[in-house]
Amino acid sequence: MTAYLDTGDRRRSADAPPRIADLIDEATIQSIAEEAWSALVGEDEYLVPLPGDPLVDAVSSWVEVVGPWTGTVVITTARATAAELSRCLLKEHAPPVLDDEDVDDALGELANVVGGNVKAVLPGPSSLGLPEVGTAPEAGTDVCRVDLLWRGQSLTISVQDSAGVLTEQNNQQKNEVPL
């Protein structure tokens, strides 16, 4: 008969809350983005996981996730790329001349869809904020970031912890997601 010695190590290991970085990674973000692109932008539209040229005239859209983990999902690209994305989303319904409102709306909807699906892989319940568009929000800590090329143009999707820049110890505590 084998005696079972409970050292507590297994229990402590199992009880440790997962860190946000354990729940979301680059592959997950890219998979979510590819699904959104395929459905909304076009079936034959691909996102290539390569960094592109530095952005000129960058614009960002983002949504906040509030719950056991609170942070922001941000899409950043050049405004010209955002306009091209808007035309793809609108397809035959695109007006001859796109105004800024159309471009902001389309980029915001992409953030909404990507953010909603990022939220779905995190422990809930969480709420999703309304999309915002503009200059990138004050950078928090990037939990995860993917640099992509769409039609050769740079596009970045990042999941940012709202805690901002923290000490390593605090950062570890903040990134833990209670179950």
Partner 1 sequence: MRALVIDDSKVMRRIVSGILEGLGYEVQQAGHGREGLDVLDGGWVPDLVCVDWNMPVMDGLQFVSAVRSNPSWRQVTIMMVTSESEHGQIVRALAAGAHEYMIKPFTADAFRDKLALLGMLPQEVAL
Give the number of other Cβ atoms within 10 Å of residue 58's Cβ: 16
Site residues (vs partner 1, CB under 8 A)? 35-36, 38-40, 43, 86, 89-93, 101-102, 105-106, 108-109, 112-113, 115-117, 119-120, 124-126, 128-131
Kindly state the smallest distance separating residue 173's Cβ from partner 1, in Å: 25
Integer CA distances (angstroms), 14 to 8, 9, 20, 175, in order: 10, 9, 16, 17
The one-character DSSP state at 159 is E
Both tokens of 140, joined, read 């928090």
Kindly state the smallest distance separating residue 117's Cβ from partner 1, in Å: 7
Q: Which is nearer to partner 1, 12 or 93 (CB)?
A: 93
Kindly state the smallest distance separating residue 153's Cβ from partner 1, in Å: 19
Q: Which is nearer to partner 1, 51 or 124 (CB)?
A: 124
Report the distance separating Cα 163 and Cα 81, nearest Å.
30
